């Protein structure tokens, strides 16, 4: 096969190095590789600049510094991993730039959504980063936002004309790029598919304890990939987890509890924190329900660029409708207390400093609430795990919290099986309002269960292991690792003396032959939808489920020790109390 790697974002080393490692592995297995990097084509604005908070309005000198770092790292990858291919800038001549300028002149506020070039919906694709940066759930842009959009659109068009020349010159059999949702990547991916070249994306895995040691490899982008995994779930539902898988999944939760990752929005777990029931004034007999809201801008962005098809005929058309219905239900159920947890991404957080449009809508909705309903705002600084300790049932829309709480054995109720990126049967499901209330009652009566945890751990074995490439033999960087103060000071000095020390070290440490190279090769050669479709699982022993039970309990008790230390449970009905009973039953 001849494989084209569209790799213009070398400055983002955590993306660029894994991408290059896969390219090298395929080349070593005899395939012809074309490794295309930027070469300053995107000098007006790009993903690495976005990552550093540098806009198209920044001084040209500031943007040039990012371009310089990007070119230096691209050169390092080419030299150390023996990857060859053109810079995109060399493929865009004066005529192509004039073509882009003429195309830009046709774009108006009225026409941008339907704007196409080369049959590719670049007008839509160029929206993606803007909608996320601004946390928008509408397309009414002020003058500054419109200017941002036009800058992103111009870069997307430049990528498209460069890719057109590249595809014509190289005639690849496959296209591979990192993150199929970035505007430039999505445009190039669509152009390749339109011309009969299957397009694949790479992306770091979801296990936070080893995120950089694994990679998604699948067609198109993360949305259809996750939906395909959910569709494949029945194949794996009855497959017990191995002890090694259970430990790796347990390590993910230990990292979640720390709350250090930029991908974790909750504050870390804190032992000895004030009780939730006491803080929000629950009556002793009231059952605590916690509704976990999701951020809307990511869903809206995915829908606008065509990565996610809007779901029709939902029980609640909008998340706000769901919350309003819950409030009305609680008016008739005084024995329940509802705590509505607003997603921290709606407000400034570790990853960005913007308040979302949706947050303003929620603030209006919560002006008048019954006595048995309260709101948990991000400013409250309450950990999700403090809530988990005393919550009887979680109510979820599509947040990953739905699987995380069930992994701890807690019951969760959903109102749709069409939105969340995990199987609905990990939770309770009610798709009519009457059935939804019945499922809450059922979840309350069933309560905590080891079987909730078992199902989620089995699902996470699919999501974090079976569906991913393992690149741990090539990339050893651990995001959650905490170095000592002395080590950090030494690293700072060393980086000043040699800015590429860490990147050179990564190149030198990589395996000479990627262990999962054959799996990557087979996935591309067969034009499989993903690694999950290609992977062959090993047979299991007769006692696999008994072994799973033993090691699942072991992992839950490790999580309990991390959450609570030596603290005795205040009640057998708390999460600590349930896990303590599990420990007693094990003796």
Which pTM was predicted?
Answer: 0.92
Instruction: Give the H or E element holding residue 570.
Output: none
Do residues 179 and 128 make contact, with C-beta atoms less than 8 angstroms apart?
A: no
DSSP 477-546: --TT----HHHHHHHHHHHHH-TTHHHHHHHHHS-SS-TTHHHHHHHHHTT-SBHHHH--PPP--TTHHH
Which tokens hold the place of 167? 């595809």
pLDDT (tens digit, 9 = 90+) per residue, 295-342? Answer: 778 888 999 999 988 888 889 988 889 999 999 999 999 999 999 999
For residue 265, what pLDDT band results from cuts at 50, 70 and 90? very low
Nearest Cα to 255, choosing from 305, 291, 222, 210? Answer: 210
Mean pLDDT calculated for residue range 350-362: 62
Residue 93: count other Cβ atoms within 10 Å of its Cβ. Answer: 11
Whether the per-residue pLDDT at 260 is higher than 70: the answer is no
Q: Quote the CA–CA distance of 582 and 569 in Å, as a whole number.
A: 13
User: Can you name the residues that pair with 336 across neighbouring β-strands?
Assistant: 287
Whether the per-residue pLDDT at 364 is higher than 90: the answer is no
Q: Quote the CA–CA distance of 87 and 69 in Å, as a whole number.
A: 15
Do residues 114 and 306 make contact, with C-beta atoms less than 8 angstroms apart?
A: no
CATH for 235-463+551-586, options being 3.30.2350.10, 3.40.50.2000, 3.30.9.10, 3.40.50.720: 3.40.50.2000
What pLDDT, on the 0 to 100 scale, is given for residue 297?
A: 81
Q: What percent of the chain has pLDDT over 70?
A: 94
CATH code that applies to domain 2-204: 3.40.50
Whether the per-residue pLDDT at 484 is higher than 90: the answer is no
Whether the per-residue pLDDT at 180 is higher than 90: the answer is yes
User: H helices then E strands: how many in the chain?
Assistant: 24, 12
Q: Quote the CA–CA distance of 464 and 430 in Å, as a whole number.
A: 28
pLDDT (tens digit, 9 = 90+) per residue, 272-282? Answer: 455 899 999 99
Instruction: Give the H or E element holding residue 166.
Output: helix 143-170
Considering only CA atoms, give the Rg of the chain: 25
Average pLDDT of the chain is 92
What pLDDT, on the 0 to 100 scale, is given for residue 272?
A: 45
For residue 497, what pLDDT band results from cuts at 50, 70 and 90? confident
Whether the per-residue pLDDT at 269 is higher than 90: the answer is no
Residue 73: count other Cβ atoms within 10 Å of its Cβ. Answer: 23
Least confident of 102-111, 202-211, 347-356: 347-356
3: left (phi over 0), alpha (psi -120 to 50) or beta: beta
Q: Quote the CA–CA distance of 409 and 394 in Å, as a whole number.
A: 11
pLDDT (tens digit, 9 = 90+) per residue, 47-67? Answer: 999 999 999 899 999 999 999
Residue 165: count other Cβ atoms within 10 Å of its Cβ. Answer: 16
318 exposure class (CB count in 10 Å sphere: 0-12, 13-18, 19+): middle
Least confident of 409-413, 536-540, 574-578: 536-540
Kindly report, as residue ranges, where domains of CATH 3.40.50.2000 are found in the chain: 235-463+551-586
Whether the per-residue pLDDT at 350 is higher than 70: the answer is no
What pLDDT, on the 0 to 100 scale, is given for residue 349?
A: 47
User: Can you name the residues that pair with 375 across neighbouring β-strands?
Assistant: 340
Least confident of 48-62, 125-139, 345-359, 500-514: 345-359
Instruction: Look at 495 and 233; give whichever has higher pLDDT.
Output: 233
Residue with tokens 């007006």: 44
């Amino acid at each position: 096969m001849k494989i084209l790697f569209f790799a213009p974002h070398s400055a983002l080393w955590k993306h660029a190095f894994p991408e290059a490692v896969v390219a090298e592995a395929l080349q070593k297995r005899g395939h012809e590789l074309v490794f295309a990097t930027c070469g300053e084509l995107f000098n007006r604005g790009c993903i690495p600049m976005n990552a550093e908070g540098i806009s198209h309005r920044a001084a040209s000198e500031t943007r040039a510094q990012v371009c310089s770092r990007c070119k230096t790292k691209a050169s390092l990858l080419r030299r150390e991993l023996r990857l060859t291919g053109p810079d995109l800038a060399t493929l865009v001549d004066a005529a192509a730039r004039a073509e882009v300028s003429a195309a830009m002149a046709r774009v108006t506020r009225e026409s941008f959504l339907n704007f196409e070039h080369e049959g590719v919906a670049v007008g839509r694709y160029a929206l993606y980063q803007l909608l996320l940066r601004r946390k928008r759930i509408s397309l009414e842009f002020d003058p500054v936002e419109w200017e941002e959009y036009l800058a992103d659109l111009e870069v997307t068009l430049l990528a498209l004309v460069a890719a057109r020349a590249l595809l014509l010159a190289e005639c690849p059999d496959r296209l591979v790029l990192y993150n199929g949702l970035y505007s430039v990547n999505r445009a190039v991916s669509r152009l390749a598919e339109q011309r009969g070249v299957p397009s694949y994306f790479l992306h770091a895995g979801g296990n936070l304890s080893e995120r950089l040691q694994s990679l998604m490899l699948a067609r198109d982008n993360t949305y259809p990939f996750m939906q395909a995994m959910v569709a494949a779930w029945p194949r794996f539902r009855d497959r017990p987890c191995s002890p090694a898988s259970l430990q790796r999944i347990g390590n993910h939760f230990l990292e979640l509890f720390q709350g250090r990752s930029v991908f974790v929005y909750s504050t870390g777990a804190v032992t000895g924190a004030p009780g939730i029931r006491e803080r929000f004034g629950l009556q002793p007999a009231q059952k605590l329900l916690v509704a976990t809201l999701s951020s809307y801008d990511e869903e809206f962005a995915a829908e606008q660029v065509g990565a996610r098809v809007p779901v029709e005929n939902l029980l609640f058309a909008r998340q706000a409708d769901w919350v309003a219905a819950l409030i009305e239900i609680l008016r008739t159920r005084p024995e329940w207390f509802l705590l509505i947890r607003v997603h921290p991404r709606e407000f400034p957080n570790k990853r960005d400093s913007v308040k979302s449009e949706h947050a303003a809508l929620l603030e209006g909705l919560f002006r008048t609430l019954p006595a048995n309903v309260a709101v948990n705002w991000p400013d409250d600084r309450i950990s999700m795990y403090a809530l988990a300790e005393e919550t009887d049932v979680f109510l979820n829309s599509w947040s990953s919290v739905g699987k995380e709480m069930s992994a701890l054995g807690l019951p969760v109720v959903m109102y749709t099986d069409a939105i969340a990126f995990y199987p609905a049967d990990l939770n309770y499901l009610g798709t009519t309002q009457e059935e939804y209330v019945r499922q809450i009652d059922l979840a309350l009566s069933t309560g905590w269960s080891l079987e909730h945890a078992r199902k989620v751990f089995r699902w996470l074995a699919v999501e974090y292991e079976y569906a991913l490439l393992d690149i741990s033999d090539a990339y050893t960087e651990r995001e959650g690792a905490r170095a000592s103060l002395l080590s950090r000071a030494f690293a700072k000095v060393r980086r000043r003396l040699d800015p590429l020390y860490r990147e050179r070290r990564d190149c030198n440490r990589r395996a000479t032959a990627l262990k999962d190279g054959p799996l990557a090769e087979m996935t591309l050669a067969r034009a499989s939808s993903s690694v999950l479709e290609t992977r062959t699982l090993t047979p299991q022993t007769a006692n696999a489920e008994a072994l799973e039970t033993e090691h699942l309990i072991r992992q839950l008790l490790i999580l309990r020790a991390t959450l609570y230390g030596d603290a005795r449970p205040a009640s057998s009905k708390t999460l600590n109390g349930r896990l303590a009973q599990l420990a007693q039953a094990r003796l």
